[in-house]
Amino acid sequence: MKEKGTGKQNKKEQDKCQINNNEEVNKSQNDNIAAEEKPAHNREMEQLKNELEEKTKKCEEYFNMLQRTAAEFDNYKKRTAKEMGSVYNDAAVDIVAAFLPVVDNIERAVQASSKEADAASLKEGIDLVFRQFKEVMAKLGVEEIKSLGEKFDPNLHNAVMHVEDPEYGESVIVEEFQKGYTLKDKVIRYSMVKVAN
């Protein structure tokens, strides 16, 4: 019986040796696989690191470009604001220069009225100034709004009175209290009018 037990024991020891051998082989294979995977893993990490560096450089380039564009836009806004102020001042100077001859003639009329008591010459001087004033306004593009006898237009006229009169049609302007003016299709001042019916 001892022999049978010894046989079984030998068998167990052989199995243990076989298992140990298998484990050593597996461990050796795993070590080999890990050793092979390490360079592949390192290559992949290196590639990812390079890609990250490239993306970071691109990011920095875009950020610098954005900063330059923002600075250029800020300079553009400042330059445009300065130019707009200059354009406004130039336009104001042109308008004032256009009205200076009218002012000169009004001054002459006032001086003449103090020297002469002739009402006819005073009226003539005032008529001259008025015509000159209208000419300057026409040169600037200012036009008088036609009102009397026209159909009421709320875009051009301001009705301050209303009258029932069978002599006139519906919404016809029968009296103008104050003239209205436009500048290139923009209303500067609405005509103040009386409207019939």
Q: For residues 1 and 15, what is the distance between their CA atoms, to the nearest angstrom?
A: 21
- The domain defined by 42-140 folds into Hemagglutinin Ectodomain; Chain B (3.90.20)
In this predicted model, what pLDDT tens digit does every residue of 136-175 receive, in sequence order?
Answer: 888 888 999 999 999 999 999 999 999 998 888 899 999 9
Residue with tokens 């010894």: 6
Per-residue pLDDT reduced to its tens digit, 47-102: 999 999 999 999 999 999 999 999 999 999 999 999 998 888 888 888 888 888 88
Lay out the sheet containing 142-144: strands in order across. 142-144, 181-183, 186-189
What per-residue confidence (pLDDT) applies to 1? 46
Residues 6+ apart with CB under 8 A from 174: 148, 163, 165, 168, 194, 195, 196
- Per domain, the residue ranges of the chain are 42-140, 142-197
Whether the CB-CB separation of 140 and 183 falls below 8 Å is answered with yes
pLDDT > 70: what percent of the chain?
79
What is the DSSP-derived secondary structure letter of residue 110?
Answer: H
| Single pTM value for the model | 0.53
- The CA-based dihedral angle spanning residues 134, 135, 137, 143, taken in that order and rounded to the nearest 10 degrees: 70
Domain 142-197 has CATH 2.170.150.20: no
